[in-house]
Amino acid sequence: MNETGTMNEAGGDPIIYLHQVERHYRQGTGALAILEGADLALWPGQSVALVAPSGAGKSTLLHLAGLLEHPDGGEVYIDGMATTALSDAERTHIRRVEIGFVYQSHRLLPEFSALENVMLPQMIRGLKRAEAIRRAEEILSYLGLRDRLVHRPAELSGGEQQRVAIARAVANAPRVLLADEPTGNLDPHTAEHVFSALTQLVHATGVAMLIATHNMELAARMDRRVTIREQKIVELD
């Protein structure tokens, strides 16, 4: 065990560690408990599937891990740093630098090209335009989209749109990639293609990936599988 109390699994500290996290929503006069004393640690280069029924709290967990929501108790450590007491500006900064998101629907900006969609987060972070173009071209080419740079989202297939969304998520070289049913809207063949793109990136970049998925076949091929049971994170296998 190290000082954050986590097992030292992959020869180092976890890049993200949710410790005794609580989350409940108001329901009438009472509270609906989603997470209570939930623990989860992810190490660099690790892919983890979050497999749980609808309504179990997968999106809630991803939002907490991505600093989009505050826990009602417990702590979220990113690279060893406690984040709950930080200001909104500091949390936003960590989110921009350390965390990438992929959603079920691509959420690309429709009036911009694939290249521009991947450039934008880099320019928001302060990269010069030429450097953002160079990196966007490199990432999109790596994901097999070299011939789709100037296409707008509507001119791309569902699988291509999702690969652009993945490229955008990793454009700033995050340490953590969070994905909420990223292949949920895709046919099995395309889902396989998008999943391969994600796992390739994990191995190539050492990012830690947490994917909420219903696809047990894909989950079986990831490094770990976890679920939410009685408001806690439970390791499967």
Residues at the contact surface with ligand ADP, assessed by CB under 6 A: 25, 34, 52, 54-60
Q: How far is the CB of 88 from ligand ADP (least distance, A)?
A: 18
Q: How far apart are CA 58 and CA 76, in angstroms?
A: 16
Strand boundaries in 143-229, DSSP class E: 176-180, 208-212, 224-229
Smaller CB separation from ligand ADP, 151 or 214: 214
Smaller CB separation from ligand ADP, 58 or 95: 58
Smaller CB separation from ligand ADP, 160 or 181: 181
Q: Residue 47 phi/psi, 5° resolution?
A: -110, 130
Q: How far is the CB of 234 from ligand ADP (least distance, A)?
A: 14
Q: How far is the CB of 23 from ligand ADP (least distance, A)?
A: 8
Q: Is 151 left (phi over 0), alpha (psi -120 to 50) or beta?
A: beta
Smaller CB separation from ligand ADP, 43 or 103: 103
Q: How far is the CB of 141 from ligand ADP (least distance, A)?
A: 33
Smaller CB separation from ligand ADP, 63 or 193: 63
Q: H or E segment at 203?
A: helix 188-205
Q: How far is the CB of 32 from ligand ADP (least distance, A)?
A: 6
Q: How far is the CB of 34 from ligand ADP (least distance, A)?
A: 5
- N-term to C-term CA, the chain: 22
Q: Which residues of 185-219 are buried (b: 16+ CB within 10 A; e: fewer)?
A: bbeeebbbbbbebbbebbeebebbbbbbbebeebb
Smaller CB separation from ligand ADP, 29 or 54: 54
Strand partners, 232: 229
Q: Cα dist. 147→114, 142, 144, 150, 202 in Å?
A: 10, 11, 8, 8, 23
